[in-house]
Amino acid sequence: MLASLLVAYLLMGGSAVVVGTLATGESVDAIKSAIHRTVKDPAREREAVKIVDGWHDAGKKYIEAGNADHAAILSLVKRHDASRAELDAVNRRVDQRDAQTLKQFAATREALRKQITREEWPAIFKEVKNK
């Protein structure tokens, strides 16, 4: 049990929150709804939703990979003969994926900023937070 909690904290503590919520604490669906209501230009609205959907799809892959690494770590924890090198290899994979995910998040945010005006941006995220 303790091992499961530790692994869950290590694997899901940081980037998973960013993946599911675009770092807003709100669901992707809530963000998309706010975009639909706020962005009046249909082309920019479509592109913004497409960007959010792409982030969401990438997030699903991140979660799947994290689940696989979680299983690998649990397997190692249960094995007395598991080496530190085996655990370190999984940890490196997790760290690399987290670093890539955070870079991808920054790129996604920049792409979204190109589709949402300075005036629309706070309206979207204020609306999401007020729900």
- Percentage of the chain modeled with pLDDT above 90: 56
This model's pTM is above 0.85: no
**Residues of the chain predicted below pLDDT 50:** 1-17
Q: Where are the domains of the chain?
A: 2-130
Closest CA to 75 of 28, 54, 93, 83: 83
